[in-house]
Structure 1
Amino acid sequence: MNSFDSFDGWVENASPAENFLYQHLRYHRSKESEDAIINRFFKLFIEALNYPDPEVWQVVNRLANAAESDRQFKYTLNRCCYTLINYWYSQPRCHAAIPRLIELFEDLPTDDPGLAASRRIRELVARFTQTDQYEALSRLRQVFGEPDADNAYNAQHHQPVGTLLRHYPFLYDHSLLTKDSDHEQKRSIQNLKQQAEQRLGINLARYNSYRLGHSRKPIENPTRLSDQQLNQALDHYTGKSYEAKSYKEFASWFSTYSRSVKTFREFKEELVNDYLLLPIAAEIPKYRNNQFSRALREWARATLTDFDEQRLNSFTLVELIRQLLIFLLLQNRRRPIFVIFRRLLEDMGYTLTTGLLLRIVLLCSAARPALERCFSVMFNLHETRQRGDVPWLVESLEHTNIALVTNFGGFGFCH
């Protein structure tokens, strides 16, 4: 069974009425064309009139007027969407139906339907478009919509940042899922993420092989960076860097070395000075003791101080790295302002800044979701901005994409 076909069984924790509705959609999705089922969805939820099955209409009406409907209906409607989306994803010829279904919510009727039941359903559907669930669906539409024709030199700067989501699989978990997403939806997005990472990894590996002369067949640059920028990024993230070690080798060396550190306080000092700052200072000497390096040292000394006299363990390592990523990327989780990250990009450049983040997650791969979450916060807050207004964000997403795929994808990049 395809992992995107999530609702072939009884939906856990759903009421009998909800499961009756999901079963109804499951039955018709396999019997009718995509156009027919989209029209059926439109009549049941968007127009909320003239639905051909009275029993189903009564069930939706009952759910819409239940005591908990203000809180619960958005989850039911979201599952109805995924009941169709998951099935269509399993059949490539049906992929175009996914954004078409989601587009139904963009033009809700404003006339009076004349029925109290219809007014109530329309009210709840309108509220749904203000929820996290709908935001995630809207982003999913960008992943399945028609790809744009932009490239490094002909970028559509007027297009919203959100239209680029398909290109950054490391954002999928935190941009396409919500806190209430069930296990099957998480598996679905993970499947989508893995496929996107694989496509990107293969395309980058082929491009790398061609540019190094190992392949004669010309391969187009698969990123939004110029050829020169991409070549520099690939050399930096996959080649030898500090002390003639690759990023992976340096992370492995420091991980082995840190086991001999006696206390967590000592580990924090050596993490900042030897692992994070020295490779930067080798390229830009002022980072041995500039404003950023001093702020980073002060931050580390003030973080998780209750554990300073203990030995380093997996919990303190993951929590330290998680908080470090928030400090570098968001500065404040509740009120992200990106000041430190923007300054690093301007002063150090994209490869060294991204390399700093790469060293962090290579040392503690369990903290990679924290990196992805931070970038998703950044992306989600800017998704309605025009690409040309936030070039720093687009370029940093490109570099992070390359750094993660080349170091975690297992595609065997050659040098």
Structure 2
Amino acid sequence: MDSWSDYYNRRITHHQTTYLEEEQLYGHLLDCVRTEAPEELLARFRMLFIEAGGYADHAVWQALKKIVDSPFVEKDFKFILNRSSYIFINHWLMQPRLHSAIPELVALFDANPSGLGRSRTTQRLRDLVRQFRTTDQYMALKRMAQVVSQTPEGTANGGSTLGTLIRRYPCLYNYNLLTTDSTDEQRRRVRQIKRHVQRQFERDLAQYATFKLLQGDIPAEQPKDLRSSKNPTLLSDRRLDRALQQFGGKIDGSNTYHDLAQRFLTYSSHARSYQGFKTDLYEYLTDSVDAKYGNRQFNQRLYSHLQTILPEHDEHQLNDVLLIGTCRKLLNFLVVENSQCPNHAIFVDLTGNLGITATIGLLLKIVLICRKVKPYLEKQFAILFKHYETCTRDSVTWLIDSLENLNVAFSINFGSLSL
């Protein structure tokens, strides 16, 4: 298996094989990034990994040669190349004016090397780089390049792929920009980018909501940016207005989603058993499902699925572990099973029959009673995004609209946005 844990363990237990050579390579790249401009670093990266020959520093080239000759290189090289790439990328992420170098670096992997590559090491390296283009690490690099190179406004072309919209959805970053071997530094950078994009979206959404509230009665002296507030989503104004009302307003005339969640938690705390809690949970969820759709078969399927969740604990008292486990299994049922079996037929059926806003509302009800599963829901949408990211936007409008609604729902219920 070419897992991260295997690679890590090999570095710990067999460090005399390539550990020292890897550290020599990383140390060299770190020295370069501190003193050289992006153009020089890109040229260096191309010569070392893409051309794979003629590198000026002989000692570094010999270290790379030993890495390539390792019996584990087929399994390990994706981790080595990924870390080498991020030594440059992490440095450039600290300076917004250097962000444009990141997509240039990622584009190098699609460049054809010049010359035939006569040495065995050169041919082997080129083969390994070609193989790298099939890995999760490479796809995460491409998404990172997309995030830093594109602003949300430049997203009108429906013929482009879903993947080009990744910047719009910070809730996906942890699972689509990072891999098992991501360093603490990478994770810190992604958190910073996520916070920045999320806050900007919340500011734009608050400005739009304020504009709509005052629309028709905005005095001439009102600030210009407020008088011309744009819809920050890919939803139509009508759909966004509905989402704002749904996720921030009173959905039953007197209660918001947050109110209903708090009421449910108070009521269910008196449940005599876990079985009783599941019955209460069924009522809580189906209360907001359109009766015509629910009575056809959905409500019965939901009830049956709830009975299959941790039945061995039915006579026990509810606790945090049971609550988290129940909500995770519910999200598997309603959204997608897992990355190995990305079955999401029920989610597609829900969005097509209940409507996308109501479907996201159903998921929101679950997350509001167990906030610890919010990252799990984000992971599930990341699975769907990966599954469809090479499809044209026009062919997955249901998923785009779902992610846009999710952005709005999270901003109102978990962010700083207050309506």
Counterpart AA for 2:211: Y
Match in the other structure for 1:101? 105
Q: Is 1:277 the equivalent of 2:286?
A: yes
Match in the other structure for 1:144? 148
Which whole-Å CA distance do the structure 1 matches of 2:97 and 2:318 have between them? 52
Match in the other structure for 2:162? 161
Which whole-Å CA distance do the structure 2 matches of 1:196 and 1:141 have between them? 15
Q: Is 1:234 the equivalent of 2:238?
A: no
Which whole-Å CA distance do the structure 1 matches of 2:137 and 2:407 have between them? 25
Match in the other structure for 2:48? 44
Matching residue within 225, 229, 232 for 2:235: 225
Deviation at 1:183, TM superposition (A): 2.9
SS of the equivalent of 1:344 reads helix
Matching residue within 260, 264, 273 for 1:254: 264
SS of the equivalent of 2:322 reads helix
TM-score where L is the length of structure 2: 0.90
Q: Is 1:352 the equivalent of 2:358?
A: yes
Which whole-Å CA distance do the structure 1 matches of 2:256 and 2:72 have between them? 56
Provide runs of 4+ in structure 1 moved above 6 Å.
Answer: none
Which whole-Å CA distance do the structure 1 matches of 2:315 and 2:171 have between them? 36
Deviation at 1:187, TM superposition (A): 2.3
Which whole-Å CA distance do the structure 1 matches of 2:194 and 2:152 have between them? 19
Which whole-Å CA distance do the structure 2 matches of 1:136 and 1:329 have between them? 23
Matching residue within 310, 325, 328 for 1:304: 310
What CA RMSD, in Å, does the superposition of the two structures yield over aligned residues? 1.8
Residue 332 to residue 94, structure 1, CA distance change in 2 (3 Å): closer
Question: 186-195 or 24-33, which moves further after superposition?
Answer: 186-195
Decide whether the 8 Å contact of 1:108 with 1:126 is kept in 2: no
TM-score where L is the length of structure 1: 0.91
Decide whether the 8 Å contact of 2:235 with 2:401 is kept in 1: yes
Matching residue within 1, 24, 37 for 2:28: 24
Matches within 5 A, 1:39-118: 39-109=43-113, 112-118=116-122
Match in the other structure for 2:408? 402
Deviation at 1:150, TM superposition (A): 4.8
Decide whether the 8 Å contact of 1:277 with 1:287 is kept in 2: no
Which whole-Å CA distance do the structure 1 matches of 2:32 and 2:347 have between them? 50
Counterpart AA for 1:323: K
Decide whether the 8 Å contact of 2:150 with 2:167 is kept in 1: no
Residue 106 to residue 319, structure 1, CA distance change in 2 (3 Å): same
Which whole-Å CA distance do the structure 2 matches of 1:135 and 1:204 have between them? 30
Counterpart AA for 2:363: L
Match in the other structure for 2:193? 192
Decide whether the 8 Å contact of 1:136 with 1:178 is kept in 2: yes
Match in the other structure for 2:178? 177
Match in the other structure for 2:324? 318
Decide whether the 8 Å contact of 1:51 with 1:57 is kept in 2: yes
Decide whether the 8 Å contact of 2:338 with 2:380 is kept in 1: no
Counterpart AA for 1:319: G
Which whole-Å CA distance do the structure 1 matches of 2:121 and 2:381 have between them? 42
Which whole-Å CA distance do the structure 2 matches of 1:382 and 1:219 have between them? 31
Which whole-Å CA distance do the structure 2 matches of 1:224 and 1:309 have between them? 47
Which whole-Å CA distance do the structure 2 matches of 1:102 and 1:83 have between them? 13
SS of the equivalent of 2:214 reads coil
Deviation at 1:321, TM superposition (A): 0.7
Which whole-Å CA distance do the structure 2 matches of 1:269 and 1:290 have between them? 19
Which whole-Å CA distance do the structure 2 matches of 1:260 and 1:78 have between them? 51
Decide whether the 8 Å contact of 2:93 with 2:189 is kept in 1: no
Counterpart AA for 1:278: D
Which whole-Å CA distance do the structure 2 matches of 1:191 and 1:309 have between them? 45
Counterpart AA for 2:34: S
Question: 209-218 or 311-320, which moves further after superposition?
Answer: 209-218
